[in-house]
Amino acid sequence: HQQASSQKPKTLDSIICFIKKKKGSKLISLFLLFLPLLTVTILSGAEQAFASDKTVLLVNGHNSTAGSGDGGMSSLRGKKQRRASGCNLFQGRWVFDASYPFYDSSTCPFIDGEFDCLKFGRPDKQFLKYSWQPESCAIPRFDGAAFLRKYRGKRIMFVGDSLSLNMWESLGCMIHASVPNAKTTFTKRTPLSSLTFQEYGVTLNLYRTPYIVDIAKEKVGRVLNLGAIDGGAGVWKNTDVLVFNSWHWWTHKGQSQGWDYIRDGSSLVRDMNRLDAFYKGLSTWARWVDQNVDTTKTRVFFQGISPTHYEGREWNEPRKSCSGQMQPLGGSSYPSGQPPAAGVVSKVLSSMKKPVFLLDITTLSQLRKDAHPSSYGGDGGTDCSHWCLPGLPDTWNQLLYAALSM
């Protein structure tokens, strides 16, 4: 036994030779009888070896092979993990790419002036020439015509604040660039706007609701109700793709604050910790999704926290803001880390029963201090909150496209 184990045969020919030496002709006949089964076993092992070489896609920490049916999207949650052998679409760096941008702002009829930086005189154009490169995989280039064919007769709805508007207009422009002669119907209203590509029956909706939860007019004034979500919920149901977003307005104070009081259960208060309020409001939204959305028919995404660049100390330039910035930060991490609101989003998503897919755009957007309108938004102020179009939101939509396609 010891001698045999030290001379382990490694191929079919060597196995036969080995048996001849050790056991004689009878065992050879028995071996040949079971040869087909042995061959299948060896081939099966080879297939497993090839399968192990497939790129593992990690989106929000849940893995699947690149060849799997849904890319593992059905199991995505808010918690993140890192694996050396895997690929996280949201971990990477910005690289110069001469093939960008996806479209020309002057030929897209859907862009608001506040995002049309070139129209309002931005002199540099290098900010348009960057693509997002994940560390160990490639994301598919956006194909608007393929998007329309895949979602023929369906509705995609963005629900949230002006960052949702940013992303909605971006997707409209990206698709329009692929089918510039397609007939469209474009309607902007409050709270519900729509863009329909008529030949395909594909509708992109925007539902404006900065806090997602309700603001009601009461005797005391405008009341932000952290436990109610009745205002637009009926409109959101039965949509094929839902992309939610909130946070930007939760930080506003003074005249830009959207409410006078907060209703927290039975309590009516003038103010409270904004992160606590955001957590309670987002938890109300999470319960609504768990109880009302059929995720076998509707894909649900959360857009992630879009950062601002008013405070240069965050990236080690304490006297700077987004004004005058002309290139992204290098590397794959942001010096000051993720904002606390991103942790709130992850906490809420990880507690949900239904699968909600986080487009974890925070870090990759933090690296783009150069991509804001700054003083080229047409209103005379300095905007380090929103994003130029073409620009960063096109990457958000490319990642959405990748998530929907895998």
Active site residues: 162, 383, 386
Residue entry with tokens 């239904």: 354
| Selection from 59, 60, 61, 82 nearest residue 71 by Cα | 59
Cβ proximity of 242 and 160 under 8 Å:
no
The sheet carrying 56-59 orders its strands as 62-65, 56-59, 86-88
242: β partners: 157, 300
Residue with tokens 């590397």: 331
**Total Cβ atoms within 10 A of residue 197:** 22
Give me the residues paired with residue 134 across strands: 92
The backbone region for 179, taken as left when phi is positive above 0, alpha when psi lies in -120 to 50, beta otherwise, is beta
**CA 263 to CA 241: how far, in whole Å?**
30
Residue 38 pairs in a beta bridge with none
- Annotate 216-226 with b (16+ C-beta within 10 A) or e (fewer): eeeeeeebbbb
Measured CA to CA, the distance from residue 373 to residue 115 in angstroms comes to 6
